Structure 1
Amino acid sequence: MKAIVMSSTGAPDVLQLQEVPTPQIKSQTEILIKVKAAGINPVDTKIRSRGTFYPEQKAAILGCDGAGIVEAVGAEVKKFKVGDEVYYCAGGLGKPDTGNYAEYAVVEEYLVAPKPKSITFAEAASAPLVLITAWEALYDRALLKAGQKALIHAGTGGVGHVAIQLAKIRGAEVCTTVSSQDKARLARQFGADYPILYTQTDFSAAALEWTEGKGVDVAFDTVGGKTFFDTVPAVRVYGDLVTILEPDGSKGTLKVARNRNLRISLELMLTPALMGLREAQEHQTEILSQCGTWIDEGKLNIHLSQTYPLADAVEAHKQVETGSTTGKVALVMD
């Protein structure tokens, strides 16, 4: 099969299109999937530039997110049959015989969910990691409730645009940071009540004004750095602040957060995969199943801004690394 192989760390051009052996089913609960599309996430570019989670392996196929058609199933697979359309977040972290920048992938059944019928394979492949991340951050960490107010950073980004929608599904009001009027309009399409142009306005002050000085109940930081610390004053006393990045102590202190008794949560959706936490992985698959239902019901939209052929993975990585992409980017195999 054709696959994009990373044989060393470095710039995007370390990604090379190669012929490699097609992975084979080794467990009776595995599924062989003909991959139709693979989502590209910032974690892919970080792994490419810094190294995989399995440094003893010399070559790797990247890509955590995939969507495709079931080609074969193990003897004990119960939920899927040949020909089923599926999507999933599995592999792509450097472990041998995994990764979705390829024409085929083998995935355990418990990691696979039915693909939403109303969207394309490319849209479906763009969804899993960001859906799980936003769900875990807002629903599992912050315990977001109906009637609460949330601040979501980077509301037109991959995680941000689905986080807005999940917050609205839960019944919350949402303000979000964006960099331009065009992105403000797009954020409103996703359901944001109040887009804040952070390039022109102090977002923390704007959020406080929006909440009549109380602060938001929940803040979701997808940017990190100084933004994390600047968000603290915008959160109400005893509120929740969730971040997907490790707070950088050189950018600020937690003194104000402590004084406000904030509950600070860290969100890394890759933890279950890296630690082999089966129950947590099954929960993530349930998230995909529920989100798939909402997508088909028209309650949730995946914004796919651009697709590239598999052979153009280098260009796709360059695009993601600009940091200015709205929504998601995907590779398509046909």
Structure 2
Amino acid sequence: MKAWRVHRNAEPREAMRLDEIPAPEPGPGQVLLRVRAAAVNFPDALLCRGEYQIRPELPFIPGVELCGEVAGLGEGVTGLEPGTRVISPASPPDGAFAEYVVVPAAGVLPAPEALDDAEAAALHIGYQTGWFGLHRRAALRPGETLLVHAAAGGVGSAAVQLGKAAGATVIGVVGGPDKAKVARELGADIVVDRHSEDFVAVVKEATGGRGANVVYDPVGGDAFTRSTKCVAFEGRIVVVGFAGGTIPAPALSHALVKNYGILGLHWGLYNRYDPVAVHQAHEDLTRLASEGTIRPLITARLPMSEAADAVQRVADGQTTGRLVIQP
């Protein structure tokens, strides 16, 4: 089969190479999937660079989520039928940028019928992260104000849609007029172009000085630091990632004085510690998709040959919505 493999830690265009390798065989408790679509995520770039929290042995196949078709079952696997369309996370070294991938059966979920292959591939991690961040960690309530950074990106766009579905007023922060247009189309009530506007001032004006009840931050760095200036009394800042490249060191005395919470979110831990909650979130997301309330924004469906370029574009912050590779 064809598979993209990282042979050395570097920028994605330099690190990834399209190889011909044997197709994997499912072991006990595993499922073999034929990849129908694999979504590109920022962690794929970090994996290429050797900067992710896990560092697979070289060479490895990147790609952390997919929509696939069941092609084989390992020993002890029940409840899945060959040909069934499913979605799943993937874990390098056996990642999703390949024609076939082996994944643990426990993480396989039915693909929502309302979504096509590319949309289904992009639903899992981004929307699960948003669901747990907004509902489980921040307990977002109807009528509250939600501030979303990188609102036109893969993770941020999911949070915008989920925030609106939860009945919140959503303020989206983006970089540039094209991304501002996308955030508005996603449903953000107010959009701030950080290149020309101060989001702190906009949030304070929009909330009558109260501030945002919940801040959803996949960027880190200055976005986090400035968010502390416009978070409300008893507000919650959800730390999702550090796409901006800088991990902030928050002044905890400020959190104490202003009475707000800083909440970390590593969605992958729920697969380990509370898989039942992951399945419950998927049921809710499937319902929202069937109602048309949420739909992953796919800006490009790309052939297998363009995977390395796609990961590089995401790494460079040149994308809106999601890029998806379809073998």
Both proteins in one fold, TM over 0.5 = yes
TM-aligned CA deviation for residue 54 of structure 1: 5.4
TM-aligned CA deviation for residue 163 of structure 1: 0.3
Cross-structure match for 2:284: 290
SS in 2 for 1:217: strand
Runs of 4+ in structure 1 deviating by more than 6 angstroms, as ranges, are: none
TM-aligned CA deviation for residue 306 of structure 1: 1.3
TM-aligned CA deviation for residue 150 of structure 1: 0.8
SS in 1 for 2:293: coil
Q: Normalised by the size of structure 1, how large is the TM-score? A: 0.90
Cross-structure match for 2:15: 14
Cross-structure match for 2:159: 163
Summarize the Cα distance change of 1:56–1:179 in structure 2 as closer, same or farther, 3 Å threshold.
Answer: closer
TM-aligned CA deviation for residue 175 of structure 1: 0.8
1:234 aligns with 2:235: no
Aligned counterparts, 1:166-315, within 5 A: 166-245=162-241, 248-249=247-248, 253-272=251-270, 277=272, 279-315=273-309
Query: 1:108-135: CA deviations, max 9, x gaps?
Result: 2221111122322122212211112111
For this pair of structures, how many residues does the alignment match?
A: 323
Q: Which of 138, 142, 145 is matched with 1:142 structurally? A: 138
Distance 2:142 2:266 in 1: 24
Summarize the Cα distance change of 1:52–1:194 in structure 2 as closer, same or farther, 3 Å threshold.
Answer: closer
TM-aligned CA deviation for residue 52 of structure 1: 6.1
Cross-structure match for 2:40: 40
Query: 1:251-292: CA deviations, max 9, x gaps?
Result: x6344332111110111223356xxx2x43443343234312
SS in 2 for 1:127: helix
Q: Which amino acid aligns with 2:254?
A: V
TM-aligned CA deviation for residue 99 of structure 1: 1.0
TM-aligned CA deviation for residue 189 of structure 1: 2.0
Indicate conservation of the 8 Å contact 2:27/2:75, yes or no.
no
Indicate conservation of the 8 Å contact 2:43/2:52, yes or no.
no
Distance 1:56 1:50 in 2: 9
Structure 2: give runs of 5+ residues left out of the alignment. none
TM-aligned CA deviation for residue 51 of structure 1: 5.5
RMSD: 2.0
Cross-structure match for 2:312: 318
TM-aligned CA deviation for residue 55 of structure 1: 4.3
Indicate conservation of the 8 Å contact 1:307/1:329, yes or no.
yes
SS in 1 for 2:95: coil
Structure 1: give runs of 5+ residues left out of the alignment. none
Distance 1:171 1:53 in 2: 34
Summarize the Cα distance change of 1:99–1:314 in structure 2 as closer, same or farther, 3 Å threshold.
Answer: same
